[in-house]
Amino acid sequence: MTAATAHQTAGPYWHLIDFPEWADLLRAGGPNEGIPGPRITLTGRITDGAGAAAPDAMVEIWQADAAGSYEPPFHGFGRCAADADGVFHFTTLRPGSVPGLGNASQAPHIVLAIFARGLMKHLVTRAYFAGEPRNAEDPLLAAAGPRAGTLIAKETAPGSWRLDIVLQGDGETVFLDV
C-alpha cells in the first residue's frame, strides 16, 4: 500500500485552470441546460484571520440535483474564482435532500472546496439553506453544535443565497475533516 500523494497549495496562479463559465452550472450550452429545478445563486465572501479578503481563492462546488440525486444527467460541479473583494458567485439549482448513513437523510446542501495560496490542502465545508425544515434533523448540522450557523446560507432576495467563509478566528467557518 502506498499512502495518498501529499497535497500542495494551489498557489496564487491557479487561474491558468480558471474557466469562468464553470461558475454558472445552468449556462446555455453547458452540461445542465434544460434540467429542471429551482434556479438559485450562491454568493459569499472569503476572509482571513485579519478580516482581509482572499482575492486569490478558488471555490469549487459539488451538489445533487433538485431531486437529491448525484447521478447524471445533472452535473453538479462548478468552479469560481474569488474576485478582488474575495467574493465568489455560482448559479445553480437548489439541491434536494440526499440520503445519509443508514436510514438517515441529509438536509439539502452544497459541498464547497476552497483552494488558495496559504492553504496547503483545500478546505471543505457545506452550504445549507436557512429556513429549510430538514435542517433540524441533519446529522452534520447537529454535530457542528453552536457553530452550525456558519454552514447555513441566508436568502438575501428570492433565490439569492449568501454564505460568507471565514478562514480563521471570530466566526470561523466550520471546516470538515473529510
The binding track of 132-171 with respect to other proteins, each residue x by CB under 8 A or -, is --------x--xx--x-------------------xxx--
Residues 59-88 that bind other proteins (CB under 8 A): 60, 62, 64, 70, 72, 75-77
* Of 45, 94, 109, 162, the one binding other proteins by CB under 8 A: 109
Minimum Å distance from CB 178 to other proteins?
5
Q: Closest by alpha carbon to 95, among 114, 119, 70, 131?
A: 70
**Calpha distance 131→80 (Å, rounded):** 26
Distance of CA 120 to the CA centre of its chain: 19
Nearest to 125 by CA among 117, 114, 134: 114
Does residue 123 touch other proteins according to CB under 8 A? yes
> To 5 degrees, how large is the angle CA 177–CA 63–CA 111?
25
Distance in angstroms (rounded) separating the CA atoms of residues 20 and 39: 19
Of positions 28, 84, 101, 157, contacts other proteins by CB under 8 A: 101
Among 53, 66, 67, 176, binds other proteins (CB under 8 A): 176
Is residue 136 classed as helix, strand or coil in its secondary structure?
Answer: helix
> Where does this chain bind other proteins (CB under 8 A)?
1-17, 31, 48-50, 52, 54, 56, 60, 62, 64, 70, 72, 75-77, 98-102, 106, 109, 111, 113, 115-123, 126, 140, 143-144, 147, 167-169, 172-178
